[in-house]
Structure 1
Amino acid sequence: MSNTWQTPEMTKRIARRHAAEKRFRLAGLTAIVLSLLFLAVLLFIMLKNGLGGLDWAFLTGSDATSADAAGVWGALKGSFLTMLVTLLLSFPMGVLAAIYLEEFAPRSRWIDWVEVSINNLAAVPSIIFGLLGLAVFINTLNLPRSSPLVGGLTLALMTMPIIVISGRNAIKAVPPSIRDAALAVGASPVQTVFHHVLPLALPGILTGTIIGMARALGETAPLLMIGMRAFVATPPGGITDPSSVLPMQIFLWSDEIDRGFVQNTSAAIIVLLVFLLAMNGLAIYLRNKFEVRW
């Protein structure tokens, strides 16, 4: 009986498959190189234009009408307070919603409608959340305009669907044998979820939280709708004080006629990137710290 793998037709098919795999690897490598090249060019331009403006006076000052006197501390503190409110609201509510929908919610038409709505909310343009925050938090609840409190509430609405979706996927990825083993030794369903399932799903949940918070940190459209583009000359003392945020400050400085603000804009972008990397680095450290292997 002849070996079919040695026939000319099969040899040609194997050669075509190997060539296709090489083309695919080359395309993937090209995409990675181009992405890194664009990032390197962006970083080079920002560092070239902004490093000269990074000094202690710039890092500790607030917005001003003069480029020489303008600083980034007010916007940086506003971003920190806004992200703090966003995280404290969106993370626990998103995780609890994911746990309920995945582990306890009965299968019904109402639950199906809620799941579809959450998936749709994750794709809604961010400016819609800004309009919602303006209508609900400012016009209806009369919360202070241009404050980190309102900004955090608005960004929490935008971030929560991402955390819910990633949390459900992480919980679903936990093997059913973990649940069966916990229930078999007498654990209640709630104990099974919080003592066994949630610790195993936490790295995946934190990954979704990192993505959501990184998106929230760079948003300007929803914060534009709630008035955080106002000129604020003093850093906020709390979450109810008027404030700006780093992306909005960069937007305002980039629109200035004074050429001195070009350096400030690049320096503020560097500060924003460092803040983003520090926030993501802390989240990745926590994710790896709580990661449990089975």
Structure 2
Amino acid sequence: MKRRVARRYAAERRFRALGLAAVLLSLAFLAFLLVTMIVRGAGGFSSTFLTASDATDPAMAGVWGALKGSMLTILVTMALAFPIGVLAAVYLEEFARRNRWNDLVEVSINNLAAVPSIIFGLLGLAVFLKVMNLPRSAPLVGGLTLALMTMPVIVIAGRNAIKAVPPSIRDAALGVGASKMQVVFHHVLPLALPGILTGTIIGMARALGETAPLLMIGMRAFIAAPPAGVTSPATVLPVQIFLWSDEVDRAFVEKTSAAIIVLLVFMLMMNGLAIYLRNKFERRW
């Protein structure tokens, strides 16, 4: 018995050491990336880097146009993907009947979450540009395309968060006379909101770093002026980084690293805001 207990404790210590090593390895890769980008991109920052747009002269090039394009694109994506994804999750989990049709919808949503992003770019090209004749290389089209890509992730995360709410919450609300709508929107949804926001964070982070679907809808054009609105020609930070990394002029190497730093800071700010909102609305039972 003592030998078995000793073996279990030894296995637990090995597992903890392995987990700690995995965390340290991940942090080491992240630190290496940050240090490399800071060293390479320190010379790319200038007085106009954060206020200027793209230019053929690397000394005059900046990221404001691409940064504003990313903001507008993410706003369109969030405005469409979040409410539609949450409502779809609520309907599928709380109101939809269990039949073959709904089972097919659930399987389709799970499959869409695993579809490569380039497929959504082709879909956006075919539907939003060819059929609907929306303006090419606009944050509106980019946001619509990324919303299609992000929505399945939000639906899946929302359904899991709603499913995690204890059934006793529903039973207690129904027991005091609450309607089905009141149970869902006054009790279940507020308790599931932190989990839903977690899925939204993952989806938005993926959308912010995507390049392939935006290249398919033409957001790789040279844009010398910041976009005036969601229908103006624009580009985004990942595409701008891709374009600068393909330049022959070696001076753009520093600009590329500096733009990567700006993208990382932008993503950290977005994730930090989402985590703050998640913790603010979190409720315990």
Scaled to the shorter chain, the TM-score interval is over 0.9
Aligned with 1:38 (options 29, 39, 48)? 29
Q: Distance in 1 between matches of 2:46 and 2:167?
A: 55
Tell me which residue corresponds to 2:6.
15
User: 1:202-260, CA deviations, whole angstroms, 9 ceiling, x for partnerless residues?
Assistant: 00000000000000000000001000011111100000011000000000001111010
- The match for 1:291 among 278, 282, 285 is 282
Summarize the alignment of residues 1-294 of structure 1 with structure 2, pairs less than 5 Å apart: 10-294=1-285
Amino acid at match of 2:223: V
Misfit runs of 4+, over 6 Å = none
**Runs of 5+ unmatched residues, structure 1:** 1-9
Secondary structure in structure 1 of the residue aligned to 2:48: helix
- Paired letter, 1:17: R
2 CA distance for matches of 1:144 and 1:186? 51
Q: Distance between the aligned counterparts of 2:123 and 2:59, measured in 1? A: 37
Q: Distance in 1 between matches of 2:174 and 2:45?
A: 58
Determine the structure 2 residue equivalent to 1:6: none
Question: SS where residue 59 of structure 1 aligns?
Answer: coil
The answer for unaligned runs of 5 or more in structure 2 is none
Q: Secondary structure at the match of 1:69?
A: coil
Helix, strand or coil at the partner of 1:169: helix
For 1:194 and 1:153, how far apart are their aligned partners in 2? 27
Deviation at 1:21, TM superposition (A): 1.4
Deviates more, 1:145-154 or 1:23-32: 23-32
Partner of 1:4: none
- Higher Rg: 1
Alignment RMSD: 0.8
**Identity of counterpart residues, as a percentage?**
78
In structure 2, give the amino acid aligned to 1:274: V
Q: How many Å apart are 1:16 and its aligned residue?
A: 1.9
For 1:38 and 1:26, how far apart are their aligned partners in 2? Answer: 18
- Deviation, 1:13, is 2.0
* TM-score, length basis structure 2: 0.99
**TM-score, reference length from structure 1:** 0.96
Please give the alpha-carbon distance, in whole angstroms, between the structure 2 residues aligned to 1:243 and 1:166: 31
